[in-house]
Amino acid sequence: MSTADLVAAVMFAAITLYAVFAGADFGSGMWDLLAGDARKGAKTRRLIDHAIGPVWEANHVWLIFVLVFLWTGFPRPFGQIMRDLAIPFWLVGLGIVMRGAGFAFRKFTPDIRSARLAGIVFASSSVLTPFFLGTIAGAIASGRVGTGQVDTEVIWLSPTSLVGGALAVGTCAFLAAVFLTEEANRRGDVELAEELRLKAFITAALTGAVALIGIIPLRSDAPTLFDGLTARGAPEIALSVVAGLATLFFLRRRELRLARISAVFAVAAIVLGWGFGQYPWILVDTVTIEDGAGNSATLFALLVASLIAVIIITPALVMLYRLADTDRLGQ
Amino acid sequence: MALSLGAHIILACFGMAMPAMIYVLHRKGINGDEAALELAKRWSKIAGVLFAIGAVSGTILSFEMGLLWPGLMEKYGDVLGTAFALEGISFFVEAIFLGIYVYGWDRLPPKKHILMLLPMVLAGIAGSFFVVSVNAWMNAPTGFTEVDGVVVDVDPLAAIFNSAVPLQFLHMFFAAYMVAGFTLASIYAVGWLRGRRGRLQELGILVPLAFAAFVTPLQPVVGHFAGQRIADDQPIKLAAIEGLAETESSVPTVLGGIYRDGELVGEITVPIEGLASFLAQNSFDAEIVGLDAVPEEDQPPVNIVRFSFQIMVGIGTALVGLVAVAAWRWRKRRDTFFDSAWMLRGIALSGVAAIVAMETGWITTEVGRQPWIVHGLMRTEEAITDGGWVWYSLIGLIFVYLLMGVAGLAVLRSMSRRWAAGEKDLESPYGPAALETSAA
């Protein structure tokens, strides 16, 4: 394994963490959107405020990490991605601003009308942002970036991109439903927990279906990725299926903490499967990780920085999640 | 980009400087000052909102690095990237501890709770250092060699610790405490002038003002040495600041005036011979390089740079004066400190003034570097994207930032109104309790 491979691995680990943690935050926004009118949805919305309020900013930082790693470790592929996929990136940026501002403002709005407005902004951008991120992933994974195809087609609306977008939205909704069920249950609101548990079942079925059916168009639309997924990425895909089924099982038995863990595995495995599936390409079919990598001294510095990050950030993150989970720390 | 940065830089100042101020208030609070504790709580909520917007505007900036400047990043991404990675870590630490701190009220033992601010203070300092380091690198690029237009032999540490970074960082660091300090103090000064007077408002003026007062007098000193570095490394920037067409010795300092066709019109000359030479080179008859040292296409737009610089220096000087008055009153007239309406009016204006000074300072350094994005190596036009949609995205951005600014101010105002009306916890309006009252 070369230094460039290591840097790419760290970057993919960050993508996975972003997909899982920020994914649950985005998904919560989607449930916020579907929670019903102000009276009916108040309980769900308060739960969501509690669940993601303390952690979403920290979860969001993973994305910044991914970007920094991409432009520092792989400056030329980064430039190419940004040139070819400028439009979805602008849309993602817009979605992130709207979501963050909408969420931060809603809590302190003066009256119900402006709360509703901020809430709608927050919730609808929670759907759009992961969708466009998924289409970006699809465009890269199907080998459309850096080939000049951008001149003849909208490369981020190809079949693979649409699968990516749908899958991103689905996994976010699924993660959030499982997380929120557990959260509601822990806060003793059994009624709400049961409601959310049902939603978790439905989204799990839908997302699983999208994932499995979605592989079919990949065969002709993204042959390199398809080959990778069925070879190097196969164990991860299998793991994802097993973990997904396990989540359903745990949900049924109301083993909610275990359901939460297996849901994380199910989603993380899909993202990792994508990574293994497109190895050794950084831009599928055009640039390999090795060829796209920046200067070796910088790659080494990035690895050192990651090590520092692990040492400093892990304990702090654990502390944050424990506080959000238990409402106290070491008392 | 300039728009996003200009907005982000204000938010970043608060992110950097507020934790330390909250720490002072929280410590007073733990020692029994209830007003201080209440103020610390409020400010932590405000910091939370500002930080959230800062986090998303920071993300937009990192998108823009690629969306607007693919040329810059493709060539130099691996030179200036390490600093960004370290900044990312700092920001992460700050985000985590902010989450813990804001959520930790009434959930953590006070002694432990207040400690959560310290990593934020440190991370704020470290993060701003690394970001400024990237900007400083653009002024004084180093840490690599270029062979036939290809970057080789990158030395990430040398790039981070470039020659411009120490002074530029200090200048920005002090600016952050000035912006946050004067702005917060000005808000409470306005409240005071309108009749909201109490222990809470006293603290709201005194604590941030003390922070600002500490760094304001140091700022011109740092700025002076930063200027001397410019004289050595970026003489054309200095020439633009001085409006100096031709290289001369014993250059006087001139204020105001418009630069047109190689000369200043309507300027006022300070009657000290060679003052500008002295300021730049420590000698009254030193030579200062003029704009004509480089061809016209390598010169920055002189008037923008000059005006910005002079506004910055003018405001900075006025703020030093304000701090001197406040410090004098604090020492000699402490009992009647708040009785001077003139001083309070000055404080009330100081927030906007400090923000303007910072923005103009930033314009000076950025526009003064033009037409280069990386001094002497890459022109801005080589770095910028060739996408035709740039103007649309600019219009879109202006719209979004306006919207966010208006909404943000509206929310902050509503928070302060509800606090003024005696609410403590600011229940969300969609909570069941609030719903029932609004239905009744």
The full DSSP string for B367-410 is: HHHTTEEETTTEEHHHHS---TTHHHHHHHHHHHHHHHHHHHHH
Assess contact for A157 and A84: CB atoms under 8 A.
no
A177: left (phi over 0), alpha (psi -120 to 50) or beta: alpha
CA separation (Å) from B294 to A223, B235, B291, B298, B376? 55, 10, 6, 6, 11
Provide the percentage of residues in chain A whose pLDDT is more than 90.
8
**Contacts with B157 from chain A: Cβ below 8 Å:** 301
User: For A103, which residue in chain B has the nearest alpha carbon?
Assistant: B52
B65 and A71 in contact by Cβ < 8 A?
yes
**Contacts with B430 from chain A: Cβ below 8 Å:** 38, 41-42, 45-46, 106, 112, 115-116, 119
Interface membership of B55 toward A (CB under 8 Å): yes
Q: Is A147 helix (H, G, I), strand (E, B) or coil?
A: coil
Interface membership of A76 toward B (CB under 8 Å): yes
DSSP state of A22: I
In degrees to the nearest 10, what's the CA dihedral of B340, B345, B348, B349? -140
pLDDT at B159: 80
Assess contact for A200 and A266: CB atoms under 8 A.
no
A76-104, pLDDT tens digit by residue? Answer: 888 888 888 888 888 898 888 888 888 88
Between B3 and A240, whose confidence is greater? A240
Interface membership of A116 toward B (CB under 8 Å): yes
User: For A99, which residue in chain B has the nearest alpha carbon?
Assistant: B56
Chain centre to alpha carbon of residue A6: 21
Which class for B235: exposed (0-12), middle (13-18), buried (19 or more C-beta within 10 A)? buried
Interface membership of B67 toward A (CB under 8 Å): yes
In angstroms, the separation between the Cα of residue A290 and the nearest Cα of chain B is 14
B64 vs A30: CA distance, rounded Å: 27
Assess contact for B104 and B116: CB atoms under 8 A.
yes
- Structure tokens belonging to residue A53: 């309020």
B36 vs A273: CA distance, rounded Å: 52
Interface membership of B330 toward A (CB under 8 Å): no
**Contacts with A97 from chain B: Cβ below 8 Å:** 56-57, 59-60, 400, 404
Assess contact for B220 and B175: CB atoms under 8 A.
no
A57 and B144 in contact by Cβ < 8 A?
no
Assess contact for B162 and B142: CB atoms under 8 A.
yes
In the structure, what pLDDT confidence band is assigned to residue A242 with cuts at 50, 70 and 90? very high
Q: Which residues in chain B show pLDDT less than 50?
A: 431-440
Cis bond before residue B19 (omega within 30° of 0)? no
A82 and B408 in contact by Cβ < 8 A?
no
**Contacts with B154 from chain A: Cβ below 8 Å:** 294-295, 297-298
In angstroms, the separation between the Cα of residue B376 and the nearest Cα of chain A is 21
Which of the residue ranges A163-172, A248-257, B19-28, B371-380 would you say has the lowest mean pLDDT? B371-380
User: For A330, which residue in chain B has the nearest alpha carbon?
Assistant: B108
Assess contact for B360 and B314: CB atoms under 8 A.
no
Question: Which pairs from B111-115 meet CB under 8 Å and 24+ separation?
Answer: B111/B30, B112/A329, B112/A330, B113/B26, B114/B23, B114/B26, B114/B27, B114/B30
pLDDT at A132: 92
A300 vs A245: CA distance, rounded Å: 40
* Bridge partners (DSSP) listed for residue B269: B254
In the block, which residue shows the tokens 């992933």? A137
Q: Is A97 helix (H, G, I), strand (E, B) or coil?
A: helix
Cα radius of gyration (chain A): 20
Instruction: Please compute the mean of the pLDDT values over residues A151-155 and round it to a whole number.
Output: 73
Interface membership of B407 toward A (CB under 8 Å): yes
β-strand B268-269 against B254-255: which pairing, if any?
A: antiparallel
A304-323, pLDDT tens digit by residue? Answer: 888 888 888 888 888 888 88
A114 vs A213: CA distance, rounded Å: 41
Interface membership of B156 toward A (CB under 8 Å): yes
pLDDT at B438: 41
DSSP state of B291: G
pLDDT at B440: 33
Assess contact for B172 and B218: CB atoms under 8 A.
no
B58 vs B65: CA distance, rounded Å: 11
CA separation (Å) from A28 to A208, B62, B236, B334, B386? 19, 25, 53, 53, 38
Out of A93, A115, A305, the one facing B85 most closely (by C-beta) is A305
B152-207, pLDDT tens digit by residue? Answer: 777 777 788 888 888 888 898 889 999 999 998 988 888 888 888 888 888 888 88
For residue A243, pLDDT over 80 is answered with yes
- Structure tokens belonging to residue B371: 């037409």
In the structure, what pLDDT confidence band is assigned to residue A330 with cuts at 50, 70 and 90? very low
Q: What are phi and psi of B150, to 5 degrees?
A: -110, 135
User: For B425, which residue in chain A has the nearest alpha carbon?
Assistant: A108
B396 and A94 in contact by Cβ < 8 A?
yes
Q: Where are the alpha helices (DSSP H) in chain A?
A: 3-17, 23-33, 38-52, 56-73, 75-84, 86-106, 112-141, 159-186, 190-221, 223-230, 234-252, 256-278, 289-292, 296-326
A111 and B429 in contact by Cβ < 8 A?
yes
List Cβ neighbours of B256 (8 Å cut-off, separation of 6 or more): B266, B267, B268, B310
Q: Which of residues 99-128 of B touch A (CB under 8 A)?
A: 99-100, 102-104, 107-109, 112, 119
B395: amino acid identity, one letter: I
A110 and B414 in contact by Cβ < 8 A?
yes
Cis bond before residue A280 (omega within 30° of 0)? yes
pLDDT at A328: 54
Here the ipTM equals 0.82
